[in-house]
């Protein structure tokens, strides 16, 4: 098997036939945010640094019309069904030939210089397979978007309150970055086979980061690349405002596929040992003061159900997506 640096060196021939970056924007009913996203990369397209492919997963809010009328330089692809995020990016990747591919939500907007900063960080080491930007919330704060791979130690540390977020101002190598926007080296993406399309929504970025790490590629966090993020604008329409349990369920599917069902069960039991006492305490509080604690009881109850739901046979776990 070729090493990451050998693969990266061979990919340079693409410079003469395509812009360095193909931005794969996945859209679903976020018309105004999609408009802002495309406007934020227009200068990069005009400068020849990027091309854009928008895969619209069946929007009913007029998003495709906005692309056609206002951004004719973006290729618009409208599949017959909602492909989910990873499959949509794979489709866009198959239609482009750039050295880098940038999976992107439609709810992001690149700040000035962000793409250049990502490219500069990636060019410093041909072993870097992914560069993750700093994601910025609407209030201007930094969204946590760089994570370690899930493990017993990570979940135990989080449950005991011993996990402190890393300094968001420090560039560093990380395990994986949130897929709202990433810069992925084409050679690495192709070697990994792109996104695993079994991860329909959530944990597809985690899964890709895991497979790239196994293949020897590094993921780099670059805080000087600022990307504004209206978090989960599409998925809140599907799942409501509380999204973390859905992400955790998909993570159990990832764990079963990549680490085995026994490992997923062990993590579920560990998480359950932390969530169940909190749920029981919330039940007690809600019984005494329902107006104040009923919402907390419901939230912890949903977490308990997610962890209990992961104690199933392997085939069921692997269907979590």
Measured torsion, CA atoms of residues 9, 15, 18, 21, in degrees rounded to the nearest 10: 60
Checking if the pLDDT of 231 tops 70, the result is no
Beta bridge partners of 132: 221
Residues 9-15: contacts with CB under 8 Å, at least 24 apart: 9/126, 10/187, 11/99, 11/185, 11/186, 11/187, 12/99, 14/97, 14/98, 14/99, 14/186, 15/99
Measured torsion, CA atoms of residues 239, 296, 270, 142, in degrees rounded to the nearest 10: 60
In angstroms, the CA 159 to CA 102 distance is 34
Rounded to the nearest 5 percent, the helix, strand and coil shares of the chain are 50, 20, 30
In angstroms, the CA 102 to CA 137 distance is 20
Q: How confident is the model at residue 198 (pLDDT cuts 50, 70, 90)?
A: confident
pLDDT of residue 113: 97
pLDDT digits (tens, 9 = 90+) for 203-227: 999 999 999 999 999 999 999 999 9
% the chain with pLDDT above 90: 75
Of the two residues 35 and 152, the one the predictor is more confident about is 35
How deeply is 214 buried, as exposed, middle or buried, from its count of CB atoms within 10 A (0-12, 13-18, 19+)? exposed
pLDDT of residue 243: 59
Closest CA to 174 of 134, 135, 147: 147
Q: Which one is the CATH code of 4-233: 3.90.550.10, 3.50.50.60, 3.90.1150.110, 3.20.20.70? A: 3.90.550.10
Checking if the pLDDT of 90 tops 80, the result is yes
Beta bridge partners of 4: none
The model carries a pTM of 0.88
Beta bridge partners of 56: 27
Checking if the pLDDT of 165 tops 50, the result is yes
Of the two residues 194 and 200, the one the predictor is more confident about is 194
Contact 185, 128 (CB under 8 A): yes
Query: Domain spans of the chain?
Result: 4-233, 244-318
Task: Please state which of the ranges 60-64, 181-185, 270-274, 282-286 shows the lowest mean pLDDT.
Answer: 270-274
In angstroms, the CA 319 to CA 252 distance is 10
Contact 257, 152 (CB under 8 A): no
């Amino acid at each position: 098997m070729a090493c990451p640096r050998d693969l990266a060196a061979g990919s340079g021939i693409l410079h003469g036939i395509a812009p360095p970056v193909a931005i794969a924007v996945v859209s679903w009913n976020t018309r105004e945010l999609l408009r802002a996203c495309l406007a934020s990369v227009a200068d990069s397209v005009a400068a020849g640094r990027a091309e854009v492919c928008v895969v619209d997963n069946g929007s009913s809010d007029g998003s495709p019309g906005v692309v056609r009328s206002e951004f004719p330089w973006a290729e618009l692809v409208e599949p017959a069904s909602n492909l989910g995020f990873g499959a949509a990016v794979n489709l866009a990747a198959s239609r482009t030939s750039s050295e880098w591919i940038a999976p992107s939500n439609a709810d992001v907007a690149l700040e000035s210089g962000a793409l250049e900063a990502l490219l500069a960080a990636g060019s410093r080491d041909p072993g870097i397979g992914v560069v993750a930007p700093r994601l910025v919330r609407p209030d201007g704060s930094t969204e946590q978007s760089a994570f370690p791979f899930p493990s017993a130690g990570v979940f135990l540390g989080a449950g005991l309150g011993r996990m402190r977020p890393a300094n968001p101002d420090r560039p560093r190598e990380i395990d994986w970055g949130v897929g709202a926007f990433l810069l992925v080296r084409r050679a690495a993406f192709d070697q990994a086979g792109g996104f695993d399309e079994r991860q329909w929504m959530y944990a597809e970025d985690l899964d890709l980061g895991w497979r790239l790490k196994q293949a020897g590629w590094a993921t780099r966090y670059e805080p000087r690349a600022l990307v504004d993020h209206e978090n989960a604008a599409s998925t809140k329409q599907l799942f409501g405002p509380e999204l973390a349990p859905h992400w955790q369920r998909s993570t159990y599917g990832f764990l079963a596929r990549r680490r085995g069902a026994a490992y997923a069960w062990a993590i579920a039991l560990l998480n359950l040992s932390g969530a169940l006492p909190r749920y029981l305490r919330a039940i007690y509080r809600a019984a005494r003061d329902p107006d104040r604690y009923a919402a907390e009881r419901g939230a912890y109850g949903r977490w308990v159900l997610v962890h209990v739901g992961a104690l199933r046979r392997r085939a069921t776990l692997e269907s979590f997506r």
